[in-house]
């Protein structure tokens, strides 16, 4: 394991920094069901970290632990060098961790623009009265935030649906809008829950390009869950593999690919 | 040929026009582009500064006079500036279709020996890096959008804004050089080189001089009385001659503003926001728009539908006449006014055509219904006929003499001649200088007296004096019995049906005509939805029995209308099939300007063509397809071959006489 203080440089020349988040011996139970069992791994600044595993391996639960939706019964979450006390999701969000959802969770009746604007809620400080009479601070804030949101809309190339209600969009675009909303929060860590599920090849390629660009352009640390092995291996710097709530592999895509336990979990073990 | 070698007021080049505009129209808008949801504007004075900075930056990078600079990107002010900046330093801009595959790009860039390229983004940079090894003369690349390019080797890669910054820094050093180069430009120096789309064979580089571009722009602007206050939306490919004439030639001549959409997908919204007064679109765009309107009307309530159809019927009756300034009764005028207030006005506004004073369509034949629809709304839509070699304009329709089946009278300064073979020839100040590095083709196209063969067969309509185009001269063939075979004519008739996107008619040296047909997924898909017909793919929809039945009725209607024309009655379609895939430029079946490549198609689908003539009722086939990223795959399908009823010809009709 690398020392926490130093980073490394990837093959394509990206500088990966020190450990920014560390999961230590996390165990999560729902009654008698053990969803996550004694898992530890770390996330370094600026890297793309993937969590993979077959269905029901506990990947989404893991993401929900990071985002504060579940509090694990055992184990500790360390974030930016400090142990994180049990938190509500909004508190985690305030710490700069944003996410997208496996089953898209947008406001269907609102336009793309309004949806993305909701991602800026953390940056809006104006009080209720100021908002209501729409003077001074509230107006200024709206302008600033709109400008930021427009840059993200431009970045993700969704200008043509800016004013379209989300409910009318096809699936692939909704996923992109969700990413836009997460980015609007200016996160330091971005959690993506199956960003490419249900997409065709072309949409997957577009999405991969956006994920790489986000990482490259904003330096955002990305933790993603994905089913598609090809995508994961191409995108990520390091991969955690889970199976039945346990960690069965951790390392670079190549290491993981050649790991016997991983091969067994994905392809099944021959009975002989 | 008598040509003035001196331009009026010394305005002999585009950079010279820019200087004039920067003084005369200093604070009037020259360019607008929507970015981050807001229209950004550059005045002529600012534009001049931007272009000067870029030109100085180009000199700094080592651009010499006579160099070729490839320009690859969608319509953005930066690329228009790049063209004029290249001209200012004595180089020749070569706009390239930005959706070309790397292979096609390699051919063009190698052929002109481009040393520099100004490109849009990472996608284009990657393409050029891929082909760079084959381009011996190629040196520097300038990109506009830095996204994703930070880690690239920047020895020969430069960001647009940095080049401008360096240019500004080197202002004192190079400004005299720039001025000297700019002043050297005259009417004979090359303005731009444009590659033809290459319907047959390799693309050819058409060299157009300042005389060609400025004379063509001047006379056509005068023809339609274009002024400084026009607004245009630049959305057609920059590598196409039309965009060069409209967005640079005429824009610089008149000094009007060129508006660039936010992205290719927002064109419709941007069109509405800008409300252009001068608008050009190929028939396909008008067709799509009309189809969308009709589809949405189908979904409207009964009262709205009734109101729409009622007022449209009246508009069809009197609209074109009012537009042409003919006598129309006061009652009809009042009814039309009411319609305009409640229906046409808002509709035009929604389409973004509310302010159009002059609208043109060209490139393909436009369906009479489509043409009449727009004209009856009160939009002054006209046709023109032109080609790259003529700097666009050969014929134009004057106001008040507009018809859907002709392309108008000779443009100012253009002489027309119809050869014995039926081929149309022209001679004009806009006539191109030569095909670059291709004297044989130049000689076979343009004769010593300056007459240019258009490659189109046509005739002058006796009654109106307008030119009428039948088909490509080389496509006009003979049936087995020696009668004229004009495939394009039949294809266009078929394509006028909203359900049919594309068609290819065969019959050269054959007993009878047959056709491949592509359905329009939009129109047919909507119909399927309304009729509760489920489908999972284009292929499945294209093979649905009810769809085939609908297409058959269309083909039979076309046959009936063909039968009325004694010249073309024998071109009726006897058998046809609906293709399982859309014809696509990526597969080489069409050109980038979406014209079908007959030869490629008949080779590629040889098995299908065989089945059309051997009497079989269905055929299994596998076709290779190319995805947008260049990878290949294949699709297979069993296609039904349908017989269409034809009206018997050849038997003299005596019955009517009795």
Q: Which CATH number is B326's domain given?
A: 3.40.50.12780
Of A162, A202, A217, the CB nearest to B37: A162
Q: Is A15 on the interface with B (CB under 8 A)?
A: no
The answer to whether residues A137 and A72 touch, using CB atoms and an 8 Å cutoff, is: no
pLDDT per residue over B519-571, tens digit each?
998 889 888 988 888 888 888 899 999 999 999 999 999 999 888 776 678 88
Q: Is B591 on the interface with A (CB under 8 A)?
A: no
Residue B264, min C-alpha distance to chain A (Å)? 9
Q: Domain check: are B13 and B115 in the same one? A: yes
Residue B9 has pLDDT above 80, yes or no: no
Residue A6, min C-alpha distance to chain B (Å)? 22
A211: closest chain B residue by CA: B148
Q: Assign residue B526 the CATH number of its domain.
A: 3.30.300.30
Q: Domain check: are B233 and B325 in the same one? A: no
Determine whether A40 is exposed, middle or buried from the number of CB atoms within 10 Å of its CB (0-12, 13-18, 19+).
middle
Rounded distance, CA A50 to CA A272, Å?
Answer: 33
Q: Domain check: are B110 and B12 in the same one? A: yes
**Pairwise CB contact (< 8 Å): A201 & B150:** no
B123: closest chain A residue by CA: A209
Alpha helices in B377-505, H assignment, sequence order? 439-445, 487-495
**Pairwise CB contact (< 8 Å): B148 & A150:** no
Sequential DSSP letters for A99-161: E--SS----TTSBHHHHHHHTTGGG----HHHHHHT-THHHHHHHHHHHHHHHHHHHTT-GGG
State the average pLDDT over residues B233-242: 93
Which of B423, B442, B472 is the C-terminal boundary of a domain?
B472
A210: closest chain B residue by CA: B148
Q: What are phi and psi of B41, to 5 degrees?
A: -125, 140
Q: Would you state the structure tokens that stand for residue B545, as one six-digit string?
A: 């029995």
Q: Is B265 on the interface with A (CB under 8 A)?
A: yes
In a domain, B323, yes or no: yes
Distances (CA, A) of B167 to A138, B59, B66, B181: 42, 8, 20, 16
Rounded distance, CA B82 to CA B141, Å?
Answer: 12
Predicted TM-score (pTM) of this structure: 0.82
Of B148, B628, B629, the CB nearest to A213: B148
Q: Domain check: are B204 and B131 in the same one? A: yes
pLDDT per residue over A224-257, tens digit each?
998 778 888 889 999 999 988 899 999 999 888 8
- pLDDT at position B7 is 58
Rounded distance, CA B41 to CA B54, Å?
Answer: 18
Q: Domain check: are B259 and B306 in the same one? A: no
Of residues B642 and B57, more confidence is placed in B57
The answer to whether residues A53 and A241 touch, using CB atoms and an 8 Å cutoff, is: yes
Q: Domain check: are B463 and B486 in the same one? A: no
**Pairwise CB contact (< 8 Å): B263 & A157:** yes
Q: Domain check: are B552 and B458 in the same one? A: no
Of B148, B266, B628, the CB nearest to A216: B148
**Pairwise CB contact (< 8 Å): A159 & B150:** no
Of B6-10, B95-99, B328-332, the range with the lowest mean pLDDT is B6-10
Q: Cβ contacts (< 8 Å) between A162 and chain B: which residues?
A: 37
The answer to whether residues B596 and B535 touch, using CB atoms and an 8 Å cutoff, is: no
Rounded distance, CA B508 to CA B487, Å?
Answer: 9
- pLDDT at position B1 is 39
- pLDDT at position B6 is 53
Rounded distance, CA B262 to CA B126, Å?
Answer: 23
Of residues B198 and B20, more confidence is placed in B20
Of residues B414 and B406, more confidence is placed in B414
Q: Would you state the structure tokens that stand for residue A35, as one six-digit string?
A: 């969803």
Which of B257, B274, B291 is the C-terminal boundary of a domain?
B274
Q: Cβ contacts (< 8 Å) between A155 and chain B: which residues?
A: 147
Of A146, A159, A217, the CB nearest to B263: A159
Residue A258, min C-alpha distance to chain B (Å)? 28
The answer to whether residues A176 and A116 touch, using CB atoms and an 8 Å cutoff, is: no
The answer to whether residues B81 and B47 touch, using CB atoms and an 8 Å cutoff, is: yes
Would you give the end-to-end CA distance of chain B in angstroms?
59
Q: Domain check: are B438 and B527 in the same one? A: no
Q: Is B37 on the interface with A (CB under 8 A)?
A: yes
Rounded distance, CA B519 to CA B580, Å?
Answer: 9
Q: Domain check: are B223 and B137 in the same one? A: yes
Q: Domain check: are B199 and B290 in the same one? A: no
Confidence of residue B5 (pLDDT cuts 50, 70, 90): very low
pLDDT per residue over B148-163, tens digit each?
888 889 999 999 999 9
In a domain, B657, yes or no: no
Residue B262, min C-alpha distance to chain A (Å)? 7
Domain count, chain B: 3
Q: Domain check: are B266 and B144 in the same one? A: yes
Mutate to test the interface with A, among B35, B37, B149, B626 (most CBs of A within 10 A): B37
Sequential DSSP letters for B548-617: HHHHHHHHHHHHHHHHT-TTTGGG-EEEEEE-SS---GGGTSB-TT--B-HHHHHHHTHHHHHHHHHT-S
Which of B215, B244, B274 is the C-terminal boundary of a domain?
B274
- pLDDT at position B653 is 42
Mutate to test the interface with B, among A154, A173, A214 (most CBs of B within 10 A): A154
Q: Cβ contacts (< 8 Å) between B146 and chain A: which residues?
A: none
Of residues A3 and B487, more confidence is placed in B487
Torsion of CA B610, B612, B617, B619, to 10 degrees: 40
Confidence of residue B654 (pLDDT cuts 50, 70, 90): very low
Q: Is B629 on the interface with A (CB under 8 A)?
A: yes
* Interacting residues of B106 by C-beta distance below 8 A, sequence separation 6+: B131, B134, B135
Q: Is A3 on the interface with B (CB under 8 A)?
A: no
Residue B409 has pLDDT above 90, yes or no: yes
Q: Is A88 on the interface with B (CB under 8 A)?
A: no
Q: What are phi and psi of B645, to 5 degrees?
A: -70, 140
In a domain, B653, yes or no: no
Q: Cβ contacts (< 8 Å) between A150 and chain B: which residues?
A: 36-38
In a domain, B652, yes or no: no
In a domain, B621, yes or no: yes
Q: Positive or negative CA dihedral for B527, B532, B538, B544?
A: negative
Residue B639 has pLDDT above 60, yes or no: yes
Residue B627 has pLDDT above 60, yes or no: yes
Q: Cβ contacts (< 8 Å) between A157 and chain B: which residues?
A: 263
Rounded distance, CA A217 to CA A212, Å?
Answer: 8
Of A151, A157, A202, the CB nearest to B36: A151
Distances (CA, A) of A261 to A238, A255, A257, B376: 17, 11, 10, 72
Residue B652 has pLDDT above 60, yes or no: no
Q: Is B153 on the interface with A (CB under 8 A)?
A: no
Q: What is the DSSP letter of B534?
A: -
Confidence of residue B400 (pLDDT cuts 50, 70, 90): confident
Q: Is A147 on the interface with B (CB under 8 A)?
A: yes
Q: Is B482 on the interface with A (CB under 8 A)?
A: no
Residue B25, min C-alpha distance to chain A (Å)? 31
In a domain, B46, yes or no: yes
Q: Would you state the structure tokens that stand for residue A67, as one six-digit string?
A: 């985002």
β-pairing verdict for B632-640 and B642-643? unpaired
Q: Cβ atoms within 10 A of the Cβ of B94, count?
A: 26
**Pairwise CB contact (< 8 Å): A159 & B266:** yes
The A residues from 187 to 206 touching B (CB cutoff 8 Å) are: 201-202, 205
**Pairwise CB contact (< 8 Å): A201 & B151:** no
Taking all residues of chain B, what is their mean pLDDT, rounded to a whole number?
Answer: 89
Q: Provide the 3-class DSSP secondary structure of residue A81.
A: coil
**Pairwise CB contact (< 8 Å): A160 & B269:** yes
- pLDDT at position A269 is 66
Biggest CA–CA distance in chain B, Å, is 91
Rounded distance, CA B408 to CA B384, Å?
Answer: 7
pLDDT per residue over B258-301, tens digit each?
999 999 889 989 999 999 999 999 988 898 888 888 888 888 89
Short-list A42, A90, A26, CA closest to A237: A42
Rounded distance, CA A257 to CA A261, Å?
Answer: 10
- pLDDT at position B655 is 40
pLDDT per residue over B179-204, tens digit each?
999 999 999 999 999 998 765 678 89
Rounded distance, CA A247 to CA A245, Å?
Answer: 7
Q: Is A14 on the interface with B (CB under 8 A)?
A: yes
In a domain, B41, yes or no: yes
Mutate to test the interface with A, among B36, B261, B264, B269 (most CBs of A within 10 A): B36
State the average pLDDT over residues B337-354: 92
Rounded distance, CA A180 to CA A116, Å?
Answer: 6
The helix or strand, by DSSP H or E, that contains position A38, with its residue range, turns out to be: strand A33-44
Q: Which domain holds residue B500?
A: 477-643
Q: Cβ contacts (< 8 Å) between A146 and chain B: which residues?
A: 37
Mutate to test the interface with B, among A11, A144, A160 (most CBs of B within 10 A): A160
**Pairwise CB contact (< 8 Å): B265 & A160:** yes
Q: Would you state the structure tokens that stand for residue B585, as one six-digit string?
A: 């430029």
Of A14, A147, A205, the CB nearest to B629: A205
Rounded distance, CA B467 to CA B390, Å?
Answer: 16
The answer to whether residues A180 and A88 touch, using CB atoms and an 8 Å cutoff, is: no
β-pairing verdict for B278-280 and B358-361? parallel
Rounded distance, CA B27 to CA B232, Å?
Answer: 18
pLDDT tens for the 272 residues of chain A, in order = 444 556 778 777 778 888 999 999 999 999 888 999 999 999 999 999 999 988 888 899 999 999 989 999 999 999 998 899 888 888 888 889 999 988 888 999 999 999 999 999 888 877 778 778 877 788 888 899 999 999 999 999 999 999 999 999 998 899 999 999 999 999 999 999 999 888 888 889 889 999 999 998 888 999 999 877 888 888 999 999 998 889 999 999 988 888 888 888 877 665 55
Of A13, A154, A162, the CB nearest to B151: A13
In a domain, B2, yes or no: no
pLDDT per residue over B424-465, tens digit each?
999 999 999 999 999 998 998 999 899 999 988 888 877 788
Q: Is A142 on the interface with B (CB under 8 A)?
A: no
Q: Cβ atoms within 10 A of the Cβ of B68, count?
A: 24
**Pairwise CB contact (< 8 Å): A216 & B150:** yes
Q: Domain check: are B436 and B568 in the same one? A: no
Q: Is B632 on the interface with A (CB under 8 A)?
A: no
- pLDDT at position A161 is 93
């Amino acid at each position: 394991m690398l020392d926490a203080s130093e980073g490394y440089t990837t093959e394509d020349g990206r500088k990966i920094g020190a450990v920014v988040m560390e999961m230590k011996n996390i165990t999560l139970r729902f009654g008698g069901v053990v969803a996550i069992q004694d898992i530890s791994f770390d996330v370094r600044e600026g890297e793309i970290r993937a969590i993979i595993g077959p269905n029901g391996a506990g990947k989404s639960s893991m993401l929900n632990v990071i985002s504060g939706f579940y509090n694990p019964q055992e184990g500790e979450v360390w974030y930016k060098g400090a142990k994180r006390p049990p938190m509500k999701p909004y508190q985690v969000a305030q710490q700069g961790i944003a996410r997208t959802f496996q089953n898209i969770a947008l406001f269907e009746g609102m336009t793309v623009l309004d949806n993305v604007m909701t991602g800026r809620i953390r940056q809006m400080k104006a009080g209720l009265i100021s908002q209501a009479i729409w003077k001074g601070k509230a107006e200024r804030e709206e302008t600033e935030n709109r400008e930021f949101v427009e840059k993200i809309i431009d970045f993700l190339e969704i200008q043509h649906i800016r004013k379209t209600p989300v409910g009318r969009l096809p699936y692939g675009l909704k996923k992109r809008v969700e990413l836009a909303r997460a980015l609007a929060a200016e996160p330091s860590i971005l959690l993506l829950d199956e960003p490419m599920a249900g997409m065709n090849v072309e949409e997957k390629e577009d999405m991969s390009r956006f994920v790489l660009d986000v990482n490259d352009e904003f330096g955002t640390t990305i933790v993603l869950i994905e089913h598609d092995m090809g995508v994961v291996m191409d995108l990520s710097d390091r991969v955690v593999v889970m199976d039945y709530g346990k960690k069965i592999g951790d390392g670079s895509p190549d290491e993981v690919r050649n790991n016997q336990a991983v091969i067994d979990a994905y392809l099944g073990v021959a009975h002989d | 040929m008598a040509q003035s070698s001196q331009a009026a007021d010394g305005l002999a080049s585009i950079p010279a026009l820019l200087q004039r505009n920067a003084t005369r129209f200093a604070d009037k808008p020259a360019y607008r582009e929507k970015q981050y949801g807001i229209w950004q504007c550059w005045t002529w004075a600012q534009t001049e500064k931007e272009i000067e900075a870029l030109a100085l930056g180009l000199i700094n990078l080592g651009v010499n006079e006579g160099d070729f600079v490839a320009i690859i990107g969608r319509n953005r002010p930066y690329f228009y500036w790049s063209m004029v900046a290249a001209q200012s330093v004595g180089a020749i801009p070569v706009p390239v279709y930005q959706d070309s595959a790397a292979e096609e790009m390699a051919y063009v860039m190698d052929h002109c020996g481009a040393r520099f390229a100004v490109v849009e983004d990472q996608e284009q940079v990657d393409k050029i890096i891929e082909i760079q090894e084959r381009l011996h003369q190629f040196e520097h690349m300038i990109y506009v959008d830095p996204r994703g390019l930070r880690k690239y080797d920047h020895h020969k890669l430069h960001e647009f804004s940095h080049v401008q910054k360096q240019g500004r820094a080197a202002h004192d050093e190079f400004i005299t050089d720039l001025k000297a180069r700019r002043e050297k430009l005259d009417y004979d120096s090359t303005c731009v080189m444009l590659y033809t789309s290459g319907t047959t064979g390799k693309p050819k580089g058409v060299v157009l001089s300042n005389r060609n571009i400025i004379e063509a722009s001047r006379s056509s602007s005068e023809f339609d009385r274009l002024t400084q206050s026009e607004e245009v939306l630049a959305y057609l490919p920059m590598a196409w001659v039309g965009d060069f004439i409209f967005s640079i030639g005429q824009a610089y001549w008149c000094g009007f503003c060129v508006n660039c959409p936010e992205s290719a997908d927002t064109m419709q919204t941007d069109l509405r926001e800008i409300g252009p007064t001068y608008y050009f679109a190929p028939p396909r765009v008008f067709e799509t728009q009309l189809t969308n309107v009709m589809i949405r009307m189908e979904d409207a309530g009964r009262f709205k539908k009734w109101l729409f159809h009622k007022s449209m019927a009246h508009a069809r009756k009197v609209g074109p006449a009012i537009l042409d300034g003919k006598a129309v009764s006061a009652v009809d005028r009042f009814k039309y006014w009411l319609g305009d207030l409640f229906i046409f006005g808002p509709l035009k506004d929604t389409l973004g055509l509310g302010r159009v004073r002059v609208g043109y369509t060209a490139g393909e034949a436009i369906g009479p219904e489509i043409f009449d629809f727009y004209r009856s709304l009160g939009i002054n839509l006209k046709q023109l006929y032109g080609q790259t070699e003529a700097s666009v304009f050969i014929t134009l329709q004057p106001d008040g003499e507009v018809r859907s089946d002709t392309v108008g009278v000779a443009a100012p300064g253009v002489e027309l001649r119809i050869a014995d073979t039926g081929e149309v020839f022209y001679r004009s100040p806009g006539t191109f200088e030569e095909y670059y590095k291709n004297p044989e083709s130049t000689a076979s196209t343009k004769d010593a007296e300056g007459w240019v063969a258009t490659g189109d067969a046509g005739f002058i309509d006796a009654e109106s004096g307008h030119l009428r185009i039948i088909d490509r001269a080389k496509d006009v063939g003979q049936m087995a019995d020696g009668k004229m075979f004009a495939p394009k004519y039949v294809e266009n008739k078929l394509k006028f049906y909203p359900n049919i996107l594309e068609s290819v008619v065969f019959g050269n040296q054959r007993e009878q005509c047959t056709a491949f047909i592509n359905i329009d997924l939009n129109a047919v898909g909507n119909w399927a939805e309304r009729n509760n017909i489920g489908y999972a793919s284009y292929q499945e929809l294209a093979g649905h029995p009810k769809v085939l039945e609908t297409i058959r009725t269309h083909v039979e209607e076309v046959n009936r209308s063909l039968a009325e024309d004694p010249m073309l009655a024998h071109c009726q379609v006897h058998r046809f099939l609906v293709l399982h895939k859309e014809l696509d430029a990526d597969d080489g079946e069409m050109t980038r300007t979406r014209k079908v490549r007959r030869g490629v198609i008949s080779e590629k689908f040889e098995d299908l063509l065989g089945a059309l003539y051997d009497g079989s009722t269905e055929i299994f086939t596998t076709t290779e397809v190319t995805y947008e990223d260049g990878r290949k795959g294949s699709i297979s399908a069993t296609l039904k071959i349908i017989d269409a009823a034809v009206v018997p010809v050849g038997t003299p009709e005596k019955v009517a006489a009795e």
